[in-house]
Structure 1
Amino acid sequence: MKVCVVGAGPCGLTTIKQLRDEGHEVVCFDKNADIGGIWLRHAGDDDEMKAFDNLMLTISMKLMAYSDHPFKGGRVFYSRKQYYGYLRDYADRFRLRDHIRFGSEVTDVRKTGGSWMVSVRRDGVESSEEFGAVAICSGPFKTPNRAIAGLEGFDGEIVHSAQYRNNERFRGKRVLIVGLAESGADIVREIGDVAESATLSIRSYTWLLPRVFEGDKTTDYGTVRSHHHEMLRRSTDYPFPLQTFWGRNRFAKAVFLAASVILGFITAGVGGLRGELARRTGRKPDEPALNPMGEPVRPFKMDLGTPEDEANWEMLRTWNRRSHPDGSWTQRGIFCKNVTFIPSLVSGKVTLNDAGIDRSDGKKVFFKDATAADFDTVVLCTGFTTERLAIGDLTVRDGNVRNLYKHSIPPEHDGTAAFIGFVRPFSGGIPICAEMQARYFARLCSGKQKLPADVDDRILREKQWEEYWTALSPRHTESIPSQVVYLDSIAKEMGVLVPMWRMLINPKLFKQLWFGSFNQSCYRIVGPHNLGKAALEDLYAEPVGRLRNAVWDMSLLQLMPKNVHPKHMM
């Protein structure tokens, strides 16, 4: 099939690759001069949405990589430039540029009978081309959300975070930062370092998660399947709509969970004996010189430039308590995996106001707690709108990607259209989500995959489940509570999820998949386009033993009734 791909950022690149793997003819249109999307920087990009100068990933490269181009350097955080280099290597390795027409902006997409007519503007000239299928991979970061109530009367400078590059333009100014997200945390810290005064205005508290723990580990090292299933499946009576290793078979599920308890106790026990032996003999694992952020391990840090001291921890604990005013510790909202602004709050470089903005007049902003202050500049870290989730005949109902199958496939187009990459895991990388969506779409185009007969019912059930688990982030309809269970459900349909029987006869594989740190190489072990032994070797690169306490806890919880689960899992 001849397939059109719109956008050559991280999501578009993997879509080209997966379509080519299925033998399709691919034409990708991108308005930029090279690959990379928001990661590509160029002169004159000040008004475009681009990654800012000092950005560092909030997910380790192990999870920001593609499964067909795994990262071999362990769990470390890359800078903007380093990640762009990874994308270039991926494009070069698979010769993806051969299928991209740069400097070409898609202006319209129309359905004509059984095909799609795509209109493109290049060098001021409009042309049209016919395709059998279309994938929109241009991403959700299109229209900055600038409609902030209470700022209508402000006559100073207003800048959206999409335009932020560095803190120089804010040096010596009185700055109000509105809202907080992962990039917003960096912006708050950077502006606080140079501004005359800086105030952070929020209306609610987002759950904060440091990027580093125990000095030398990434927090996403603790992303474990058994933990996600315990939180989202066993700790609540809310129906779990997604399929995993055991499918819908209750007997298979019972066998699997029994095996998990047995193997869990064995794994935790062996790990405990090894730890005790190491303690008695005085053997200690070699401590790296640098932590995952590239900073010296000693003294320990919880994030970039963020010491692991009591003042920072107390501020972090206080913030997270306020994020769940009902007393529950279930993270039912988007995480902010960046706490680098915490020292700025502790030191007083940045003042926090959580009352919200009431009104503004000239340079003065009035808050709802009856306080007011003068500002030269307002920086909006308020995200993006969903109004651009439509082009021609390709639309997303209500701008809500949960109305698509797996956040991707509009069922009314019989598998010939997809929105790739319009998904945001609470914790995890978007690129692997886009890759799995693209693999599914590529097989739909090949006729090797069919949408489920009850696709509309599945969309509704999964949408309701996601809305339940993301209740504290109702505006972010692209969010999903668990990357792991979401990807497993797609993999199960495609036949690239490791079969349960194979796990039962291979305890090492079982332990790695169920109790080990999540690694997307698990989707290249079996099924179409698998990498076989190479995928297994990458999966086994991180020993399960380092998580023995978590394995012990998960195994115990499998034996406990729901009403005695820890408070943070209810």
Structure 2
Amino acid sequence: MVVMAQKKKRVCVVGAGPCGLVSIKELRSQGHAVTCYEASPRIGGVFSHDPESAYENLYLTISNYFMCYSDFPPRPEQGVAYWSKSEYAEYLDRYAEKNGLRSAIAFETKVTSAERGADGLWTVTAQNAAGQRTTELFDALVIATGSNSIPKTIPENGFGRRQMHSSEYTEASFCAGKRVVVVGAGESAVDIACDVAEAGAASTTVWTRRAHMIAPRFPTMMAEDSSHDEFEVITTPSQAGTCMIADFLEYHTISRVANEAPTWLWGLIRQVFWRVKMMDKANGSFRNLAFWAIESCRSAFWMADQALWITKNGRIHKAMAHGKIDYVVSKTCDFQTDRLVFPEVVAYNQKDHADEPISLEVPCDVIIWCTGYQTRFDWLKKEAESVGVNPRAWFKNCFPPGYGASLAFLGWARPHQGGIPQCAELLARYHALLLAGELELPADYAEIAVREGLDLDRFYCITPDLKSLVDYFSFMESVAGLVGCEPKRPSIFLQPRTFIKYWIYPNWAYWYRTRGPGKDPSVVDDVLARFPLKQGLSASNGTGVPVLGWPFPTVLAVLFALVQKPFNFACLVLSALVPEDLRPSKPGIDKPDRRAWLYNKSKAFVLHGLQLKWSHIIAA
């Protein structure tokens, strides 16, 4: 085991965004002395009050209850909703105020170099807005600048008109009357494309090299209501304030019971569901969703949308269904002065051309590149090469090999669905305890990181290059096991209502305060009391009144979990009889050519080394 000295440490935190803030708080809770350097004049990073930090119509893609820290939920009067950037910035302000975090932050101060000496101490040099430099020694360094800090460079091409990276985009009015191409189909790309179309662009085209899976924030509403407008529900208080937790995507995908099902079964159900929706009289928005879902998952039928990064922003489906946005998939593009020529289009709008690709010419005045960001640590000097830029080579996407707990990265665990700050918070709790000597890193943590990283590459086989991608449920459970704060399972006899909520409500971070270091069960009790079962078991369709009864996906999830129990049992029995290198119940994806993990155990126990135990079998 890697043992840290049992004394309080001096720690440098770089960045005061959501991940940096929670690191300061957790480190201080263990008595460590913290200095945080923040290059901007405000906390929050992308979610700061600075209007230039992100575009104006930025809204969360998970609910406020999912995005909040585990010990600081929304105010009691605040219902479940998708907060705007400014609303989340206000929340971060309150969090910083409550915990007195600003006193630890040096604003408008940029770290220019950080080097680790032979004695293990970090020499950190920073420069403030006035040009003054300071150099200090620290026992540990936390890098919380996030993976979205350095925009990718726009590739050289022959286009002769305006081009910009999405990081430069703030609002859409300049696109009125222009022919616009948006490159990419992530969450910001969808927002930008929709804003551009609504601002009066002459044409709006989205281009990607592969088909993207674009999920709706409110799946039941989209399926049931042909006039459903996702953005209108989010931005209209009279509608947003009446949503129930069963209306939200996370309710159906990140509950504990949903993760009890095997990977193949969820994949099969999704594939069948999409195809049924393509054949029946589903509304235009949902038919568009189904078409692109099928296209995006063709190479991983049995895993479906579990095999790739998902865009959680369904407002584009209505725009496409009404002809306001075109979507073209082509691996290559010929950039000309005033147009883009796609020579091998495999899908265009709702038409599949995979067997016989077509050529398409799109006149263009503006290209907005929503191609993401790159990870670079030039200021780490000699450490940059050994650290690398692949978070899957770091233990739990946080601890690079060779540094123990003296170097931690927060913000490089990006959930398939869920919040980056919540993953960072649990890691911050772990890191603070490591530095205090209360916990120890596994002796083979570097080898574990390699093994778990390969599992992630194989599992997310359609988007293996997105190295920060993790499975929220398995990741949180695995880190909670390290911290010792696994959720306390309520008794079905003594707490029947809480027991049901534990299984079918979203796996909010509050559950990880029920026991262990930093426990505060009152937080969980308070949050759960806000969502009675009558509302929690029903979707409202935005009316504020339960109208759909027990959601069908929840019923399926419960049935799948029950069916999977004997398979999990068989895995554990076999693990006791079969040689270790052949055990199908071994955590993770054992070998590239063995796909038993698709069916032999619950999805929860496939990734991040989460062990299937007898306690999981006997649990109700």
TM-score, normalised relative to structure 1:
0.80
SS at match of 2:182: strand
CA distance in 1, matches of 2:263, 2:210: 24
- The answer to whether residue 194 in structure 2 is matched with residue 221 in structure 1 is no
CA distance in 2, matches of 1:140, 1:127: 26
Match of 2:209 in 1: 203
Q: Relative to 1, partners in 2 of residues 1:233 and 1:360: Cα closer, same or farther, differing over 3 Å?
A: closer
Deviates more, 1:510-519 or 1:215-224: 510-519
Q: Alignment identity in percent?
A: 28
Cα offset, 1:508, TM superposition: 5.2
Does the aligned pair in 2 maintain the 1:7–1:137 contact within 8 Å?
Answer: yes
Does the aligned pair in 2 maintain the 1:519–1:539 contact within 8 Å?
Answer: no
After superposition, the C-alpha distances for 1:509-568 in whole angstroms (9 at most, x for unaligned) are 5543333321211111111111123323324544364565145323433256599979x9
Q: Relative to 1, partners in 2 of residues 1:472 and 1:183: Cα closer, same or farther, differing over 3 Å?
A: same
CA distance in 2, matches of 1:20, 1:368: 57
Match of 2:186 in 1: 181
Deviates more, 1:375-384 or 1:364-373: 364-373
- The answer to whether residue 509 in structure 2 is matched with residue 479 in structure 1 is no
SS at match of 1:387: coil
SS at match of 1:484: helix
CA distance in 2, matches of 1:476, 1:389: 21
User: How do residues 448-459 of structure 1 correspond to structure 2 at under 5 angstroms?
Assistant: 448-459=438-449
Match of 1:212 in 2: 218
Q: Relative to 1, partners in 2 of residues 1:540 and 1:405: Cα closer, same or farther, differing over 3 Å?
A: farther
CA distance in 2, matches of 1:537, 1:417: 35
Match of 1:273 in 2: none
SS at match of 1:378: strand
Match of 2:36 in 1: 28
Report the AA paired with residue 418 of structure 1: A
CA distance in 1, matches of 2:411, 2:264: 25
Does the aligned pair in 2 maintain the 1:146–1:380 contact within 8 Å?
Answer: no
After superposition, the C-alpha distances for 1:20-52 in whole angstroms (9 at most, x for unaligned) are 111111111101112111122447x4xxxx221
Does the aligned pair in 2 maintain the 1:75–1:221 contact within 8 Å?
Answer: no
Report the AA paired with residue 437 of structure 2: G
SS at match of 1:464: helix
TM-score, normalised relative to structure 2:
0.74
SS at match of 2:115: strand
Q: Relative to 1, partners in 2 of residues 1:68 and 1:534: Cα closer, same or farther, differing over 3 Å?
A: closer
Match of 1:69 in 2: 72
Does the aligned pair in 1 maintain the 2:213–2:293 contact within 8 Å?
Answer: yes
Match of 1:408 in 2: 398
SS at match of 1:354: strand
Q: Relative to 1, partners in 2 of residues 1:406 and 1:54: Cα closer, same or farther, differing over 3 Å?
A: same
Deviates more, 1:24-33 or 1:553-562: 553-562
CA distance in 2, matches of 1:319, 1:557: 30
Match of 2:261 in 1: 230
Does the aligned pair in 2 maintain the 1:9–1:38 contact within 8 Å?
Answer: yes
After superposition, the C-alpha distances for 1:98-156 in whole angstroms (9 at most, x for unaligned) are 111111101111112221110101111222111111100011112222344xx611121
SS at match of 2:333: strand
The runs of 5 or more residues in structure 2 that have no matched partner are 1-8, 222-242, 268-280, 345-358, 539-550, 569-595, 607-620
CA distance in 2, matches of 1:522, 1:393: 40
Does the aligned pair in 1 maintain the 2:49–2:86 contact within 8 Å?
Answer: no
CA distance in 2, matches of 1:391, 1:40: 26
Match of 1:120 in 2: 126
Match of 2:141 in 1: 134
Q: Relative to 1, partners in 2 of residues 1:344 and 1:18: Cα closer, same or farther, differing over 3 Å?
A: same
Cα offset, 1:394, TM superposition: 4.2
Match of 2:108 in 1: 103
Q: Relative to 1, partners in 2 of residues 1:10 and 1:485: Cα closer, same or farther, differing over 3 Å?
A: same
Q: How many pairs does the alignment contain?
A: 490
Does the aligned pair in 2 maintain the 1:173–1:197 contact within 8 Å?
Answer: yes
Q: Relative to 1, partners in 2 of residues 1:228 and 1:475: Cα closer, same or farther, differing over 3 Å?
A: same
Does the aligned pair in 1 maintain the 2:217–2:312 contact within 8 Å?
Answer: yes
- The answer to whether residue 287 in structure 2 is matched with residue 314 in structure 1 is yes
More relative contact order in 1 or in 2 (CA 8 Å, sep 6+)? 1
Q: Relative to 1, partners in 2 of residues 1:457 and 1:230: Cα closer, same or farther, differing over 3 Å?
A: farther
Report the AA paired with residue 54 of structure 1: N
Match of 2:460 in 1: 470
Does the aligned pair in 1 maintain the 2:257–2:558 contact within 8 Å?
Answer: no
CA distance in 1, matches of 2:32, 2:387: 28
Cα offset, 1:231, TM superposition: 3.7
Match of 2:581 in 1: none
Deviates more, 1:452-461 or 1:92-101: 452-461
SS at match of 2:315: coil
Does the aligned pair in 1 maintain the 2:12–2:140 contact within 8 Å?
Answer: yes
Does the aligned pair in 2 maintain the 1:156–1:363 contact within 8 Å?
Answer: yes
Match of 2:363 in 1: 374
CA distance in 2, matches of 1:87, 1:41: 10
Find 2:60's aligned residue among 57, 61, 64.
57
User: How do residues 354-433 of structure 1 correspond to structure 2 at under 5 angstroms?
Assistant: 354-369=329-344, 370-388=359-377, 391-395=380-384, 397-433=387-423
CA distance in 1, matches of 2:468, 2:453: 11
CA distance in 1, matches of 2:401, 2:442: 10
Q: Relative to 1, partners in 2 of residues 1:218 and 1:69: Cα closer, same or farther, differing over 3 Å?
A: same
After superposition, the C-alpha distances for 1:317-370 in whole angstroms (9 at most, x for unaligned) are 111010111344252111111011112212222222212442212222211233
Report the AA paired with residue 143 of structure 1: I
Q: Relative to 1, partners in 2 of residues 1:121 and 1:497: Cα closer, same or farther, differing over 3 Å?
A: same
CA distance in 1, matches of 2:196, 2:563: 45
Report the AA paired with residue 111 of structure 1: R
Deviates more, 1:386-395 or 1:422-431: 386-395
After superposition, the C-alpha distances for 1:215-261 in whole angstroms (9 at most, x for unaligned) are 4411112221232242459989xxxxxxxxxxxxxxxxxxxxxxxxx
Match of 2:152 in 1: 145
Q: Relative to 1, partners in 2 of residues 1:393 and 1:163: Cα closer, same or farther, differing over 3 Å?
A: same
Does the aligned pair in 2 maintain the 1:557–1:565 contact within 8 Å?
Answer: no
Deviates more, 1:343-352 or 1:401-410: 343-352
CA distance in 2, matches of 1:109, 1:471: 35
Find 2:523's aligned residue among 525, 531, 534.
534
CA distance in 1, matches of 2:492, 2:413: 29
CA distance in 1, matches of 2:44, 2:65: 19
Match of 1:80 in 2: 85
SS at match of 1:405: coil
Q: Relative to 1, partners in 2 of residues 1:188 and 1:309: Cα closer, same or farther, differing over 3 Å?
A: farther
- The answer to whether residue 463 in structure 2 is matched with residue 460 in structure 1 is no
After superposition, the C-alpha distances for 1:34-71 in whole angstroms (9 at most, x for unaligned) are 2111122447x4xxxx2210111110001000001112
Deviates more, 1:327-336 or 1:154-163: 327-336
SS at match of 1:52: coil
Does the aligned pair in 1 maintain the 2:184–2:369 contact within 8 Å?
Answer: yes
Match of 2:548 in 1: none
Report the AA paired with residue 214 of structure 1: T
Deviates more, 1:524-533 or 1:363-372: 363-372
SS at match of 1:371: strand
SS at match of 1:399: coil
CA distance in 2, matches of 1:39, 1:470: 28
CA distance in 2, matches of 1:391, 1:509: 47
CA distance in 2, matches of 1:389, 1:473: 26
CA distance in 2, matches of 1:510, 1:486: 22
Does the aligned pair in 1 maintain the 2:490–2:498 contact within 8 Å?
Answer: no
CA distance in 2, matches of 1:428, 1:310: 28
